[in-house]
Amino acid sequence: MSTAARTDSMLKEGTFEGKTVLITGGGTGLGRSMGRYLLELGGNLVICGRRGEVVEKTAAELEQETGGHVLAQACDVRDPQQVEALIESAYERFGRVDGLVNNAAGNFICPTERLSYNAFNVVVDIVLKGTYNCTLAMGKRWIADQTPGAMLSITTTYAWTGSGYVVPSAVAKAGVLILTRSLAVEWGKYGIRLNSIAPGPFPTEGAWSRLMPPQLADQFAPEKRIPLKRFGEHQELSILAGDLLADYAAYVTGEVVTIDGGEWLRGAGEFSDLEVVTPEQWDQLQAVMKPKKSDKPQA
Ligand code: COA
């Protein structure tokens, strides 16, 4: 596959024309990349983050780069009142909201026994509580207005395997996945779809450098243990997000789509570490282990 395929758009121009999508944590990182893609496809965008000046700067830049319309508002997703105020502003500005992306998250690597109770709370509050605050506020509005909508939550591959050293995040993301699946069933009758994306490593300036500081990245070389031998590119995730939010995926709900270059399956496979065996070593091993035709009993 060429690099172009990873940077181009997959969806038709104008896919989100006349539609509005709200992305939490849309001021930076993957949230920003997804927002840019939706703007390029003709959508209106609402982004929020805890720091107003960050989302406002991003909104101005994205408007300039894409010619689209962006509303930026400071909002701490942990606070339901701020979430409701954000949704109100989105309706005032654009008259409608068609999609919600629960992207805002918090995470840090730490041995669990070193965490304070508050450290655990902070991550769970942002990731799980933040997601259900936004999901509930948006869902109530859509149900009351009898309008359909699509929600997408960014979870992670360790939502189903668990992972050491990021335990508050693992617990919270598992909750997000179950919220997605539960409400996909309960709210299907209202025309509301809920899906998740489970990304593997997609480097960003903020979160990724905190989760994989250079000292550790040198030691673990995470990209080497990914079957596809590279990190994800933001546009690859944006394309998937756009697809799941768009009407093209109108029959997809309650799904979690993994985009990790095969990382989590490789970790689960009992014999995956045999990758380090060289072709010469295989020759030697097979010379000893593989039965010769002449050794087999004749029929
Ligand atoms: N290791 C252990 N404990 C930590 C920690 C770390 N790396 N970072 C923070 N904590 C603890 C603090 O000590 C504090 O606990 P205490 O009050 O008992 O001392 C608690 O966590 C809250 O820390 P604080 O800095 O006040 O929280 P915050 O709300 O300002 O920020 C995050 C918490 C996670 C949101 C912050 O680290 C952050 O902004 N991260 C960047 C965004 C991010 O991680 N995105 C990830 C996407 S996956």
Q: For residue 121, what pLDDT is reported?
A: 98
Q: Is 206 in the pocket of ligand 1 (CB under 6 A)?
A: yes
Q: For residue 271, what pLDDT is reported?
A: 93
Q: For residue 299, what pLDDT is reported?
A: 62
Confidence band of 298 (pLDDT split at 50, 70, 90):
low
Q: For residue 3, what pLDDT is reported?
A: 52
Which residue, by CA, sits nearest to atom 40 of ligand 1? 106
Q: What is the DSSP code (8-state) at residue 268?
A: H
Q: Alpha helices, DSSP H only, in the chain?
A: 3-7, 29-40, 52-66, 80-94, 117-124, 130-145, 158-161, 167-186, 207-211, 214-220, 234-245, 263-268, 279-289
| Percent of residues, the chain, with pLDDT higher than 90 | 84
- So where are the chain's domains? 16-295
Is residue 248 annotated as a catalytic residue, yes or no?
no
Q: Is 207 in the pocket of ligand 1 (CB under 6 A)?
A: yes
Interval 213-222: pLDDT, tens: 877 777 777 7
Question: In ligand 1, which atom is closest to the CA atom of 117?
Answer: 18
28, 108, 211: residue to mutate for ligand 1 pocket, most atoms within 8 A of CB: 108
Which is higher by pLDDT, 13 or 82?
82
Which residue, by CA, sits nearest to atom 7 of ligand 1? 108
Residue 74, number of CB atoms within 10 A of its CB: 17
Interval 150-188: pLDDT, tens: 999 999 999 999 999 999 999 999 999 999 999 999 999
Q: Is 28 in the pocket of ligand 1 (CB under 6 A)?
A: no
Q: Is 54 in the pocket of ligand 1 (CB under 6 A)?
A: no
Which residue, by CA, sits nearest to atom 38 of ligand 1? 106
Which is higher by pLDDT, 88 or 4?
88
CATH number assigned to the domain with residue range 16-295, chosen from the 4 options 3.40.50.300, 3.30.1300.10, 3.90.226.10, 3.40.50.720: 3.40.50.720
